[in-house]
Structure 1
């Protein structure tokens, strides 16, 4: 079993633009890059990969992970990578048949799971995260990005 989750920091200095700007009128770029900073956690039963700088934009990560699943689904031996903009660190995904490996430059952990489990974990965590955000920030449901994420059946 593999799990993707996120953690928002409650420290005022780590708040994103959602506390300074009107979410409903934010541009797609602002929502994807400056709002909702989090740390992410990817874990299986024994080990985990996690970030610890609470600066990753949640909407961008969610959409990027969905894109990664699409890339991995394109071939029995596909690879994909999510690079962090603020550093040279990244999370890499490699598919070999029905199996997928997840590695990070943050540490030496290697997580292995089935493609089916990886796809389900990414889609369900992204959907849950977007739902959590809309519950906390109802104005987000008025944005075009929200419609793109929550209405597009290809995402989920």
Structure 2
């Protein structure tokens, strides 16, 4: 094909080829799982647990902003954290749960983790107790 239509024809073919490549790439990517995606139920449960624990920070901030005393908020989020722990522990394989309980018992003298009394004995403030309730370390998960 010669003449003024040649560039238009070439551009049309290039556009079609580009669209096909995008479509193929999209199909390929749609079938791939991101490298950081939770791939097992156990990993999904762990991720959900970590997100729920982190959300306790917003609960505490909201309650403190509403004028509640730090001690009351600390006790509330500590209780909420313990409830999250119990639910998470139901999803953990027995051998890992045994490992978590053993570590907690050794470190805190309590298989379910540090209590408010533990933190107070260690000299923590109510604010520090609130902060601790909304954080998870990999050690908390038996890693």
* Fold similarity call, TM over 0.5: no
Q: Which is richer in strand?
A: 1
What is the TM-score when the length of structure 2 is the normalising length?
0.31
Whose Rg is larger?
A: 2
Q: Which is richer in helix?
A: 2
